[in-house]
Amino acid sequence: MPTIAFACPFARTLSLAAVVGLATGCASPTPSSTQLCQGPLAAPHDPAEPFNRGIFAFNRSLDDYLLAPVARGYRHLPGFVQGGVHNFVANFGEPKVFINDLLQGNGQRSVTTVGRFALNTTVGIVGLIDVSGRLGIERHEADFGQTFGVWNIANGPIVELPLLGTGNLRDATGKALSFAVSPFGSSSDTVDTLSTLNTVGGIVDGRAELLPLTDQLRTEPDYYAALRDAVAERRAHFVTEGKLGEQLDLARHCGGNDER
């Protein structure tokens, strides 16, 4: 997969932000948490459901026979090994979090991300140790799908992608953009090796983290619909966090009335 040097994708992403801003009009004021807690979650729009279910069947077979078993084996590794992999993957992703912090106009979060990355990459031995977290500098997530949501771009229809799973069109576009943007470039064998380790580690660690959720959803009569709706709910919460510029337990914050 082609990679792009940091300056180039960053400039292109900023240009994209400007174009979207012009297309959607002036940005509205940041909503309050009370406003965001109002209104029910709209049902996911899934006009291509029969086709999506076909792709889902392929993805599920791959998961049942490869990804999930590997993730279960990974869960039996010593805690410090799992923690090191998780920390390394999280740290390697910080530059993209930083880009999205900037695109969302959140200066405070972007400074936190830069500080975490610098500290963990050096003192934390390439991110294997979350030194920043131990100092109370907590990590947050941000991606292009969230950024598009902060810009008030609509969800779009549900898209089941081979290998990448379910999500709406906005998030699928964000995933594609994330693959195209490589803040590190490919300037050395060391960077390429670290990138490969990050990809493999991220897949296994991420799948292991989701095992409790997917094990629960598999008990539902319609696993496809249950997983699709759960992903839609989580992503809606994630976009809300981006709009507020902070991480919230929205179910508790909204008094049990989930905000989207």
For residue range 24-61, list pLDDT tens digits in order. 333 334 455 454 554 446 789 999 999 999 999 999 99
pLDDT at 102: 96
pLDDT at 256: 45
* Nearby residues of 257 by Cβ (< 8 Å), 6 or more positions away: 37
Q: Which domain holds residue 230?
A: 7-23+32-253
Instruction: Specify if 80 maps to a domain.
Output: yes
Instruction: Specify if 258 maps to a domain.
Output: no
The two three-digit tokens of residue 97, written as one number: 């979090």
Give tens-digit pLDDT for 207-227: 999 999 999 999 999 999 999
The answer to whether the CB of 132 falls within 8 A of the CB of 113 is no
CA distance 154 to 170: 7
Instruction: Specify if 1 maps to a domain.
Output: no
Instruction: Specify if 2 maps to a domain.
Output: no
Instruction: Specify if 232 maps to a domain.
Output: yes
Instruction: Specify if 105 maps to a domain.
Output: yes
Total domains, the chain: 1
Instruction: Specify if 207 maps to a domain.
Output: yes
Q: What is the mean pLDDT of residues 153-175?
A: 95
**What is the reported pTM?**
0.80
Instruction: Specify if 259 maps to a domain.
Output: no
CA distance 106 to 140: 12
